[in-house]
Chain A
Amino acid sequence: MPRQLAESQLAHSRRFSTELGLFVYRKQIRRRRAVLTLLILGSFLLLTITYGRGSGGFQNGVSTIFSPLQTVADRALKPARDLVGWFDKTFEARGENSRLKEELAKERMQAIAGQEAQQENAQLRKLVDLDGTPVLASSAYTEVTARVIARSPTLWHTAVAVDAGSSDGVRVDDPVISGDGLVGQVASVQHGSAQVTLITDHTSAVSAKVTPVGAQGVIRPDVGNPEDLILDFIDSTKLVHQGQAVVTAGWSAQGLSSLFPPGIPVGEVTRASVVEQEASQQVHLRPYADLVNLDLVQILTGGSRG
């Protein structure tokens, strides 16, 4: 009899502990699902609130806190980045060697033609009394040199962070260039840092023209391909050829003006397709600036705003 009682108590206690365990387990699962649902709703809420305009102060605050850390990390990791870059470039160089030889021959011919054009240009400048200085030097813009300290990890949002901010006179929408050409424009600014949206970002649109044809259009990116930009809405009566340069148009009308000053080199035409019975044509160009390996950039501060 006592043995039966003990067995019954043991079975009861086992059942109780199993039920307790199940209760705790279910409670944990409920809690996890609640957290997951809450965070998903939070993400959608953030997307809805900040889409197209950002969160302003909060994002700026976080960036201000982290920008010194990013600067330190950028400097400390530069040797490691260079090492990986060296391996990658060595691998690529093997395939590029023959292509470069062909390009060299072509470039030599162009250089000879370029020298002639320079002589002619100098004569023309004297004639129209231009001082021969570059477009930017004669404009109201002041160049602020900045180092790239971070880059966006996704293929969809192509942006970089730089170590110059409002303390250096940088403002939102300031154009950004590198030694080779147009890079993008400032998207947000903090005291000592700024985020730059590149011209390869899907939100970017730059008015530009093909030289010397003068055909104007809007440069849009080919999302995911940093080596290709598309110059859209080009008048199909103006024939555009491979190798021609594309520069910013810098329009101004009715008190409004383009964010980009005129004459900044953007890229070189790689492909021009004339579609029959179409009023406009699409031109593909390769950006002059190496947008995937940016290290130093210049932000054009000041200047006129529409």
Chain B
Amino acid sequence: MIVTPRIFARIAVIVVLGVLLQLSFFSRVMLFDTSPDVLPALVVSLGLLGGSMTGTLAGFSIGFLVDCLMAGTLGGSSLVLLGIGYLAGLFRERFEIHSALVPPLLCMGLTFAAELGFAAVQLMLGVDAPVSTLIVRDVMLKSIFAFFLGWPIYLGVRRVLRPALVEGTRVRRRRQPTVLGA
């Protein structure tokens, strides 16, 4: 991906809108007693489209913003999400995405990893209260939600960032001109 100032601005808008949507909508919607977490899926999409550098920076920014807005300990969410973004970007750089199932599957897998990462960070910082086993169920459900939400998120992000994508430009150039009356 070629990151021009305009594309950088678009990524910034995606990051802010994603965080606002998560905090004001997805976190407050209950499905099967848990709420979907779209932020790892958003970071994965940015990493898959922009590479490891974009994924890492986007993950860090999203985590930082969430921690700032929810008065959490700064750095916890950033640490987890930048790792997710880097892994997604690394996948993009090492492998070709042949199947349409790859982005949602990656979103699911890396959301699972992110939830485990959040748990690890919290345990590292110290948890003074007992931990319910329900948390395992919630992690599973969040990963499943990420599978279903991952594909539309990936498509949406790809659409917004299309001018910067090498494949997108190539596809547009290949299109044949329409000949009237032919």
Whether, in the assembled complex, A207 has its beta carbon less than 8 Å from a beta carbon of chain B, the answer is no
Considering the chains assembled together, what is the distance between the CA atoms of A205 and B129 in angstroms? 9
**Which of B26, B39, B139: most chain A CB closer than 10 A?**
B26
Most chain A C-beta atoms within 10 Å of own C-beta, residue among B25, B115, B119, B139: B25
Q: Given the complex, which residues of A lie within 8 Å of B125, measured CB to CB?
A: 47, 51
Q: Are B73 and A159 in contact (CB under 8 A)?
A: no
Over the window 6-32 of chain B, the binary record of Cβ atoms lying under 8 Å from chain A Cβ atoms (1 yes, 0 no) is 000000000010001111111111111
Q: How far is the CB of A186 from chain B (nearest CB, A)?
A: 10
Which A residues touch B149, using CB under 8 A?
none
Q: For window 74-100 of chain B, which residues contact chain A by CB distance below 8 Å?
A: 74-79, 82, 86
Q: Does A174 contact B (CB under 8 A)?
A: no
Q: How far is the CA of A221 from the CA of B77 in the complex (A)?
A: 22
B89 → chain A closest CB, angstroms? 8
Residues in chain A near residue B44, CB distance under 8 A: none
Q: How far is the CB of B132 from chain A (nearest CB, A)?
A: 4
B177 within 8 A of A: no
Minimum C-beta distance from A152 to chain B (A): 4
CB within 8 A of B135: which of A35, A150, A223?
Answer: A223
Residues of B within 8 A of A73 (CB): 20-21, 23-25
Q: Cα distance A58–B131 when bound, in Å?
A: 31
Asked if B138 contacts A157 (CB within 8 A), the reply is: no
Rounded to whole angstroms, the CA-CA distance of A43 and B73 in the bound complex is: 10
CB of B155 closer than 8 Å to a CB of A: no
Write the chain A residue with the least CB distance to B28.
A151
Render A51-88 as a binary contact track against B, CB cut-off 8 A, 1 for contact.
11011001100110010011001100100110011001
B69: interface (CB < 8 Å): yes
Residues of B within 8 A of A157 (CB): 70, 72, 76, 122
Q: Are A151 and B56 in contact, CB atoms less than 8 angstroms apart?
A: no
- Separation of A51 and B132 alpha carbons in the complex (Å): 23
**B interface footprint on A211-249 (CB within 8 Å = 1, 0 otherwise):** 000000000111111001010000000000000000000
Measured between alpha carbons, how far is A251 from B125 in the docked complex, in Å?
Answer: 29
CB nearest neighbor in B for A149: B24
Bound complex: CA of A161 vs CA of B69, how far in Å? 8
Question: Are A148 and B71 in touch, CB under 8 angstroms?
Answer: no
Q: Given the complex, which residues of B lie within 8 Å of A24, measured CB to CB?
A: none
**B108 interfacial by beta-carbon distance below 8 Å:** no
Q: A220 with B130: in contact, given A39-B57, A151-B23, A159-B70 (CB under 8 Å)?
A: yes
CB–CB A85/B39 < 8 A: no
A204 contact set on B, CB distance < 8 A: 129
* Residue B127 interfacial (CB < 8 Å): yes
With A52-B73, A62-B68, A150-B24 as known contacts, state yes or no: A223 contacts B129, CB within 8 Å.
yes
Q: Name 9 interchain pairs, CB-CB below 8 A, sorted by A.
A: A35-B53, A43-B82, A47-B75, A47-B121, A55-B74, A153-B27, A153-B66, A156-B122, A223-B131
Please name 13 further chain A to chain B contacts, defined as beta carbons within 8 Å, in addition to the given A73-B24, A155-B135, A195-B69, sorted by A numbering. A36-B56, A44-B79, A46-B75, A47-B125, A48-B75, A59-B68, A59-B71, A59-B74, A69-B16, A69-B20, A149-B24, A151-B27, A222-B132
